[in-house]
């Protein structure tokens, strides 16, 4: 049962009600399942109330929201979820699992370590540590960009959750959780853009390092094999970096292939491109919501059709099959349709982001466009 408390104090470390009284008439304070509920009547619009109260409540370790009830309003203070004993066990476990999955995929798929050798000597997986460092370095830099921006603005964000997977990269990427409301469009933009910007910087660095490393020797039996292989085509940004450095991205000798660290850069470009799609909770959705305000919904509505259009063009005009990126774009068309219904974060303050942030946003999308190509992945010989 909820416990009634005196309206003068919430007690026990909960946010003090005094800052509310300038904007909110407090009739009672109640505790329910760790939350503190201040029932009363707001003197100002709900968005203004949230904007005024958010800094005070976050300083006390609480996220704040406003509910409309029949007889007024309820300010709800919810404590941040800091994880058991303050240790992010889930994040650590997922990161460890992804280290193992990328080591395995890197060793077997990119360094050509025989499966029998891996089974007899698991330490042979460590040969793939450059691949793991490249892939996770790019992904973690991207997510830590979001994390740092969130912490800078006082928005409660989780540490990154890295998702382990199988081929071809050993991971499906990484995500962070943003808890509570966004205080403003400027903060929404900063948090949304920080990830792609940081990730692109890391991607350029990793790609440059990979291109400067010696190519990998492909086993003779694989080089002469007629079985199907996965081909990763170069996005314009990769070719641009290679051109500046004067380094090749492919070799005339089928027994040579680019160093696996280059694949880490390719992964960074691919995930950056997908994250910049201006729809739903993707980074591009947050950025366009911040830049355009509610008009973002119009842009988001066009994204699924554009992705389905790419798939149709490749299939009906280029004659490509599902395993030649047609299925990839069709899948993302379905995915974009689903996430479009759950739009980006709704900021409390709708003031525009200003010209400097608009310029940064446009530049980020422009560089992200260099990561796009119609056929990024092909299964050749299938």
Buried b (16+ CB within 10 A) or exposed e, 290-319: bbbeeebeebbeebbeebbebbeebbeeee
**DSSP state, 215?**
P
Examine the fold and report which residue of 52, 79, 106 is the final residue of a domain before the chain moves on: 79
**CA-based angle 54:56:57, to the nearest 5?**
65
Question: Are 62 and 133 members of one domain?
Answer: no
Tell me the three state secondary structure of residue 134.
helix
Question: Are 37 and 106 members of one domain?
Answer: no
Question: Are 158 and 22 members of one domain?
Answer: no
Question: Are 32 and 112 members of one domain?
Answer: no
CA 381 to centroid of chain Cα atoms? 33
Identify whether the C-beta of residue 110 lies closer than 8 Å to the C-beta of residue 216: yes
Question: Are 47 and 146 members of one domain?
Answer: no
Question: Are 240 and 320 members of one domain?
Answer: yes
pLDDT of residue 12: 54
pLDDT of residue 4: 44
Residue labelled with tokens 């081929």: 167
Q: What is the CA radius of gyration of the chain?
A: 25
pLDDT of residue 306: 95
Examine the fold and report which residue of 79, 111, 135 is the final residue of a domain before the chain moves on: 79
Tell me the average confidence (pLDDT) per consecutive run of 10 residues in the chain, 382 residues long.
44 64 79 79 76 74 76 76 64 94 91 87 93 95 93 83 88 82 88 96 97 86 67 93 91 82 94 93 92 88 94 92 88 90 76 92 96 87 57
- Domain carrying residue 231: 84-380
Closest CA to 81 of 186, 196, 177: 177
pTM reported for the whole predicted model: 0.82
* Number of domains into which the chain is organized: 2
Q: Is 218 exposed, middle or buried (0-12, 13-18, 19+ CB in 10 A)?
A: middle
pLDDT of residue 84: 46
Examine the fold and report which residue of 79, 110, 138 is the final residue of a domain before the chain moves on: 79
Dump pLDDT digits (tens) for 84-119: 446 788 889 999 999 999 999 999 988 888 888 888
């Amino acid at each position: 049962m909820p416990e009634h408390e005196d309206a003068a104090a919430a007690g026990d470390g909960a946010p003090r009600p005094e800052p509310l009284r300038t904007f909110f008439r407090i009739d009672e304070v109640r505790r329910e399942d760790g939350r503190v509920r201040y029932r009363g009547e707001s003197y100002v619009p709900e968005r203004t109330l949230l904007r005024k109260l958010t800094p005070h409540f976050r300083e006390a370790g609480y996220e704040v929201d406003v509910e409309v009830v029949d007889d007024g309003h309820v300010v709800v203070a919810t404590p941040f979820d800091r994880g058991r004993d303050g240790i992010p066990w889930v994040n650590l476990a997922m990161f460890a699992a992804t280290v193992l999955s990328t080591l395995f995929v890197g060793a077997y798929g990119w360094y050509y370590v025989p499966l029998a050798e891996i089974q007899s000597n698991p330490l042979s997986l460590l040969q793939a540590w450059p691949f793991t460092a490249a892939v996770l370095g790019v992904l973690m830099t991207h997510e830590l960009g979001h994390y740092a921006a969130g912490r800078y603005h006082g928005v409660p964000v989780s540490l990154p959750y890295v998702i382990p997977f199988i081929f071809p990269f050993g991971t499906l990427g990484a995500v962070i959780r943003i808890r509570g409301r966004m205080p403003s469009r400027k903060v929404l933009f900063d948090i949304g853009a920080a990830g792609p910007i940081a990730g692109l910087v890391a991607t350029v660095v990793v790609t440059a390092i990979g291109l400067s490393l010696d190519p990998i020797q492909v086993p003779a039996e694989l080089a002469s094999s007629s079985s199907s292989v996965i081909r990763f085509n170069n996005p314009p940004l990769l070719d641009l970096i290679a051109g500046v450095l004067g380094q090749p991205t492919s070799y005339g000798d089928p027994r040579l292939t680019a160093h696996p660290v280059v694949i880490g850069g390719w992964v960074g470009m691919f995930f950056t491109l997908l994250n910049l799609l201006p729809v739903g909770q993707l980074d591009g959705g947050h950025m366009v919501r911040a830049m355009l305000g509610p008009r973002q919904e119009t842009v988001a509505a066009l994204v699924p059709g554009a992705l389905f259009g790419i798939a149709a063009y490749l299939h009906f005009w280029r004659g490509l099959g599902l395993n030649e990126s047609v299925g990839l774009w069709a899948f993302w068309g379905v995915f974009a349709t689903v996430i479009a219904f759950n739009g980006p974060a709704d900021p409390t303050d709708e003031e525009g982001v200003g010209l400097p942030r608009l310029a940064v946003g446009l530049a980020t999308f422009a560089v992200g466009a260099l990561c796009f190509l119609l056929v990024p992945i092909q299964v050749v010989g299938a």
